[in-house]
Structure 1
Amino acid sequence: MAAMPRTIAAPTASRPGALLRCLSPLLSPILAAVLLAGGPAPTPAQAKAPAKTVKAAKAAKAATAAKTAADPALVSAGVPTPVAAALRRAGVPASAASFYVVRLGAGTARASWNAQQPMNPASTMKLVTTFAGLQLLGPDYRWQTSLYADAQPGFDGTVNGNVYLRGHGDPKLVPEEMAKLVAKARAGGATGINGDLVLDRSYFADGLDGNGTIDGEVQRAYNVGPDALLYAFKTLSFTLTPDPASQTVAVSVTPELAQLKLDNRLTLTNGRCGDWQSSASPSVLPQADGTVLASFSGDYASDCGEHVLNIATLSHAEFTWGGFVAEWQRAGGRFAHMPALRSGKVPRGAVLLARHYGLPLADIVRDINKFSNNVMARQLFLTIGAEMDRGGPASTGRSIRVVQRWLARQGLDMPGLVLDNGSGLSREERISAYDMARLLQQAAASNVGPVLIDSLPVLGVDGTLRNRLTRANAAGNGYLKTGTLADVRALAGYVDAADGGRYVVVSMINHPNAAQALEAHDALLQWVYRGAP
């Protein structure tokens, strides 16, 4: 019988290493290291390096861990570890942040840190103003703007004498709304004006912007101050559209102002867009003949595409005068001569030509919160004082007193609350995360709760949150107001969690590095969506 062939076992992965370790005493240290490591032979200097390298790597790892480690005090307060770690990475100390998260209707917070400390809330302060406005004025409240005259229109439709445009602080008196007022006046028989245009802006006190802007940027739309006759946010919107076929750049503007003229000398060029705004920004200057000239000059690259440039310019009176005159002429109305701009009050015995009621407060609140419109919030804040505490022109002081009394009646005494203009565009305003959360719980339980919540930006969907966490599970489940200043990042509102619960979420960060801490807020929202485990 033939002998069975001898089976030779295949070498295992461990055997070559074991063999080399047996032979290593017979080999040079360098060669043994090469054979064991399976790499090129190190130099003698490299052969001595591992100890130092390991030590340095350990030190670097320890430094990284220290930088990203979550503050244990935050974690012990219920703040999730990813949130606390993100704050550390952003260079924001725990003392500069506040958090308060509570399930709606629950008595105990899921997370609470620094919650009683009054903080600058930036635009989340608009929640106080809009909730107060909805409750005190009602969602159906409408502002009125009226047109009066010295006399009834004559048989030919001409008003002989002055006309008076009186405002009550409508936050959204835009061209479409002004056109409705003009149409009512013309439908009532007025077709011509033989006199001047007198603006009655007495519903609001003078000097509401006595301290100037928060950052010195006087031509930025977000810095526009309130006025009883605020027209089109006192902002010109220039649209620049390149046309490669004709090698030109078209410039259009809204709203139309009777005295505004365009001087477009832009040159269309090829190449990269670059800083289009610095080269295309116009100079807007009054001229000797009473017109205002917006001059564009310089290069504009076709690669830039269409852009809109917003500039807050001219005084409130000049802006409103130009808007009314333009709309009157657009509707076919006549002027015996170009009316002079005058300020004053509607005299006794004046004839009412037309009265226009603006959009309901529910719509205004939606614009204020979705797009964080500062001047609209300030208009509402002043209106609250004027309507609820009659006896003189609207002022910030009157509105502050009314809102504080309203909070007290709600059982929401807030000793750390500091109100300034109601928009959050302020270095003075303060509220604690805890008090903001109390306000939001009260709002959700109130008759205007659905209107307020519907007005808030939806996470990852619209408003100021349209680009946040768009691919996260929390997208579409957060209804939150954001707040942004140079050294402030804040959010406050509601999150619907995956477990079916609704949570009130408030966080405010006051620190020069606040802009780097958005990751912490995003982590907080995702944690709450998971049910704040």
Structure 2
Amino acid sequence: DSGKVLVSVEPPIASIRIDNQVKALNSKQCTGGVRYNPVPQADGSVTVTVAGQLGEGCSSQTYLSLLDHATYTAGAVRAIWKELGGSIQGKDRLAPTPSSAKVLARAFSPDLAEIIRDINKYSNNTMAQQLFLSLGQKFRNDADGDDAKAAQRVVRQWLAKKGITAPHLVMENGSGLSRSERVSAREMASMLQAAWHSPYAAEYISSLPIAGTDGTMRKRLKTTAMRGEAHVKTGTLNTVRAIAGFSRDVNGNTWAVVAILNDKAPFGASSVLDQVLLDLYKQPRTPQTASVL
């Protein structure tokens, strides 16, 4: 209806309630903004107040982690089963699978190219860690001890196979969401160069956010000459800001770019990193086009 703004949750978990306070703007330009404020309730549910303004034909979305793993999983199963016309009478229970259980249905993961697109475009830490652990599970041997150590070994073997020396690299979490993790900018650039020469380069590069266009880079460099000229993954911790990816200059050359900024209060760091891309773009014009990578 005119003047109405639809707000929905996917999957539609019953314990997540929406308080829709979004107002419709009489404008076809996507101005204004939407704010999401989740508030846990005493009964274990979560109420998300959605406020702000949206123009006609415009949309807004965000990813929120509102429930613990067990509650989310149970709620998602119930919601999807209900959408299919079924109902579940029993209570939620977290326990080992009974040995007498029978497989009724089996679901298969999307392929890796599709998964890394979600991971990189929206910086999904949970998915990155699960992919890291899955890698370890697939190639784990008796000497590894656990999936994480197996994944670390496999990654280091891959680096050695590619001729990449990375003495500064410390891996604890597959997402990099760790105070222990380390990597140098040069080591990261070497990995990007290896990716550029990989048979799967196109799939990997297309998984990275496009400057000023989508993912975590959608609002950055939007009104500059860099819009659409770089595929860049962002990195954020309380005291760290980083970018890594591929960026073109004014001559059409493509560069592997890595910049890591460590500071106790990295306010304005994103602007500094954006300027790195802008300065790289503004190369002296040359008559020929060559590949820097």
TM-score tier, shorter chain, comes to 0.7 to 0.9
RMSD over aligned CA atoms reads: 3.4
Residue among 111, 115, 121 paired with 1:364: 115
- Conserved 8 A contact 2:11-2:80: no
Verify the 8 A CA contact 1:383 1:394 in the aligned structure 2. Answer: no
Determine the C-alpha separation between the residues in 2 that align with 1:313 and 1:519.
30
Measured in 1, the distance between the counterparts of 2:118 and 2:156 equals: 24
- Report the 3-state secondary structure (helix = DSSP H, G, I; strand = E; otherwise coil) of the residue aligned with 1:492: strand
Q: Distance in 1 between matches of 2:126 and 2:117?
A: 14
Find the partner of 1:256 among 5, 12, 16.
12
Q: Distance in 2 between matches of 1:331 and 1:456?
A: 34
Shift of 1:346: 5.3
Q: Going by fraction, where is strand more abundant, 1 or 2?
A: 1
The aligned counterpart of 2:42 is: 285
Q: Of residues 331, 334, 339 in structure 1, which corresponds to 2:84?
A: 331
Aligned mates of 1:317, 1:453 — CA distance in 2: 34
Q: CA deviation at 1:369?
A: 1.0
Query: Which secondary structure state, in structure 1, belongs to the residue aligned with residue 268 of structure 2?
Result: helix
- Deviations 1:64-84 (Å, cap 9, x if unpaired)? xxxxxxxxxxxxxxxxxxxxx
Quick check: 1:420 aligned with 2:176?
no
- Whether the 8 Å CA contact 1:492–1:507 is kept in 2: the answer is yes
1:443 maps to amino acid: A
Report what 1:229 is aligned to.
Answer: none
Amino acid at match of 2:117: R
The amino acid across from 2:116 in the alignment is V
> What does 1:55-94 align with in structure 2 at a 5 Å threshold?
none
1:319 maps to 72
The secondary structure found in structure 1 opposite 2:231 is strand
- Cα deviation for residue 468 of structure 1 reads 2.1
Contact 1:490–1:508 (Cα < 8 Å) also in 2:
yes
SS at match of 1:515: coil
Deviation at 1:442, TM superposition (A): 0.9
**Given the alignment, which residue of 249, 257, 275 partners 1:497?**
249
Query: Quick one: which of 163, 178, 183 aligns to 1:431?
Result: 183
1:316 and 1:327 map into 2 onto residues whose CA distance is: 16
% identical aligned pairs: 35
Count of aligned pairs: 268
Structure with greater Cα Rg: 1
Give secondary structure in 1 for the equivalent of 2:170: coil
Over 3 Å counting, the alpha-carbon distance change for 1:500 and 1:359 in structure 2 is: same
Distance 2:7 2:281 in 1: 46
Higher helix share: 1
Could you say which residue in structure 2 is the equivalent of 1:305? 53
SS of the equivalent of 2:97 reads: coil
Q: TM-score, normalised by structure 2?
A: 0.77
Of structures 1 and 2, the one with the larger relative CO (CA 8 A, separation 6+) is 1
Query: Which of 173, 186, 196 is 1:444 aligned to?
Result: 196
Q: Is the 8 A contact 1:488 1:514 kept in 2?
A: yes
Give unpaired runs (5+ residues) of structure 1. 1-242, 287-291
Q: What is aligned with 2:126?
A: 375
Cα distance in 2 between the residues matched to 1:504 and 1:322 = 43
1:364-390 Cα shifts (integer Å, max 9, x gaps): 111111111111111111111111215
Q: What is the alpha-carbon distance in structure 1 between the residues aligned to residue 189 and residue 163 of structure 2?
A: 13
Partner of 1:148: none
